[in-house]
Amino acid sequence: MTVGCKDPKTGKMMKQSVRVSNPTLNFINVPIVRDPKLIPRGLPRNKHLKIESNGGGHLVREARVSTLLDSMRASSPARARPASAATRAASLDDEQKSWIQRHPSALSMFEQITRASVGKKIVMFLDYDGTLSPIVEDPDRAFMSDEMREAVRDTASFFPTAIVSGRCRDKVYSFVKLTELYYAGSHGMDIKGPPPGSRCNGNRMNNGESVLCQPASEFLPMIDEVYKTLVESTKSIPGAKVETNKFCLSVHFRCVDEKSWDDLAKQVKLVLSEYPKLKLTYGRKVLEIRPTIEWDKGKALEFLLEALGYANSNDDVLPIYIGDDRTDEDAFKVLRERGQGLGILVSKVPKETNASYSLQEPSEVMSFLRRLAEWKRKSLRASL
Ligand SMILES: [Mg+2]
């Protein structure tokens, strides 16, 4: 299909081809887990598994889950597996050590990261929920601290900086409140740059116009219709919350009793059966409904790099992407495939990931951003 995007160089609207994927509801992508101990509970372990190499030595797995309920349980483990406390602690400790060796802390590897950036322009990409703000029960209250906002502002004063979120762009802007950033909302399906005249560092378009890309705009009426239908059909399930993110929808079930998850899954599948052009994916305690176009956070990262003048083969840029969720893996994978830049996964627990480094929680993200800005400040002073 063809979608409309604003050309980053001329500012004119242009047509862009986007491949449409198969929207079969029963096929859901999950990250490959090489260590059987790390396979999420509820995921079938010995059937319907397909393992592929993605060229970078990392693997992806596609699992045919028998029901949507299976995938909800798999992505949202509620309880620890039965085991003695001591056995489990020892096992987790080993897993943690092994994982940290493969994905070292971006703070402990800070010198190595800054050495890799010599002669290159760092471009910073930041997820929002779980990266800049803590994960909270009520998604409308995922506020960012003033300290974090200051760290992001400081970072953006030295490096072009983009927020890449599954949320609606206006919503994530209402949390971040920094005009000098790029915002890619709706999993990258709604990208906008700083308005002309705003203060930003080296990230202004050559023509002075704000970059804009909305590859799923033709889906807006359909998404709006499904939002209204889902609100109505799920209102009898206590705790279910349908959130519109403009170009995609989220059905949160973190406040729904597990006994009602099956009801919720049936309602969502029933509604979506009428809309073959929409697909269903999932994250932790959330179902995501998105257009079937092949556009994700990885595509948004590529679009923004190109908009900033860094083409595929350009060696002068070091993109750094920090995120905590499955949807951020699309961006980590793009960086691996480009052999350029680095991905940092925010997680306290071992997860299979295409990221190179890790940070444990948003407070560590803040420390990393502060340190990066301070390092740049000192480098600039030293070069005077
Ligand atoms: Mg997140």
Structural domains for the chain: 1-384 (3.40.50.1000)
Q: Is 304 helix (H, G, I), strand (E, B) or coil?
A: helix
Report CA(296)–ligand 1 centroid distance (Å): 14
- Residues β-bridged to residue 290: 279
Average pLDDT over residues 118-142: 92
pLDDT-derived band at 77, boundaries 50, 70, 90: low
Q: pLDDT per residue over 34-48, tens digit each? A: 444 444 444 333 333
Report CA(129)–ligand 1 centroid distance (Å): 4
Report CA(300)–ligand 1 centroid distance (Å): 15
8-state DSSP, 189 = T
- Rounded Cα distance between 263 and 76, Å, is 16
Report CA(174)–ligand 1 centroid distance (Å): 16
Report CA(159)–ligand 1 centroid distance (Å): 21
Report CA(80)–ligand 1 centroid distance (Å): 23
Q: Are strands 161-164 and 121-126 parallel, antiparallel or unpaired?
A: parallel
Q: What is the pTM of this model?
A: 0.77
pLDDT at 31 (0 to 100): 39
pLDDT at 354 (0 to 100): 97
Distances (CA, A) of 11 to 1, 6, 190, 211, 215: 22, 6, 16, 7, 15
Report CA(381)–ligand 1 centroid distance (Å): 35
Distances (CA, A) of 131 to 41, 70, 122: 25, 27, 19
Report CA(88)–ligand 1 centroid distance (Å): 27
Report CA(188)–ligand 1 centroid distance (Å): 13
Report CA(365)–ligand 1 centroid distance (Å): 12
Torsion (CA) 126, 4, 216, 129 in degrees, nearest 10? 10
Report CA(187)–ligand 1 centroid distance (Å): 10
- Rounded Cα distance between 92 and 311, Å, is 42
Report CA(9)–ligand 1 centroid distance (Å): 30
Average pLDDT over residues 348-357: 94
Contact 305, 212 (CB under 8 A): no
Assess whether pLDDT exceeds 60 at residue 228.
Answer: yes
Distances (CA, A) of 61 to 34, 58, 194, 336, 379: 10, 10, 38, 17, 43
Report CA(128)–ligand 1 centroid distance (Å): 6
Assess whether pLDDT exceeds 90 at residue 9.
Answer: no
- Rounded Cα distance between 9 and 32, Å, is 38
Average pLDDT over residues 227-255: 95
pLDDT at 73 (0 to 100): 76
Rounded CA Rg of the chain: 21
Report CA(323)–ligand 1 centroid distance (Å): 6
Report CA(41)–ligand 1 centroid distance (Å): 21
CA angle 309, 290, 191 (to 5 degrees): 25
pLDDT at 84 (0 to 100): 65
* SS percent in the chain: helix, strand, coil, step 5: 35, 20, 40
pLDDT at 93 (0 to 100): 82
Report CA(324)–ligand 1 centroid distance (Å): 5
Q: Helices marked H in the chain — which ranges?
A: 68-75, 85-102, 110-116, 146-156, 169-176, 220-233, 261-272, 297-307, 329-338, 362-382
Report CA(139)–ligand 1 centroid distance (Å): 11
Report CA(243)–ligand 1 centroid distance (Å): 15
Task: Work out the mean pLDDT of the chain and round it to a whole number.
Answer: 80
Report CA(280)–ligand 1 centroid distance (Å): 18
- Rounded Cα distance between 145 and 151, Å, is 10
Report CA(164)–ligand 1 centroid distance (Å): 9
- Picking from 309, 308, 331, 307, the residue whose alpha carbon sits closest to that of residue 320 is 331
pLDDT-derived band at 26, boundaries 50, 70, 90: very low
Report CA(166)–ligand 1 centroid distance (Å): 8
Report CA(119)–ligand 1 centroid distance (Å): 30
Assess whether pLDDT exceeds 70 at residue 64.
Answer: no
- Rounded Cα distance between 17 and 223, Å, is 21
Report CA(75)–ligand 1 centroid distance (Å): 14
Residue 16's φ and ψ, nearest 5 degrees, are -135, 135
Q: Please state the separation of Cα 178 from the chain's center in Å.
A: 20
Report CA(287)–ligand 1 centroid distance (Å): 14
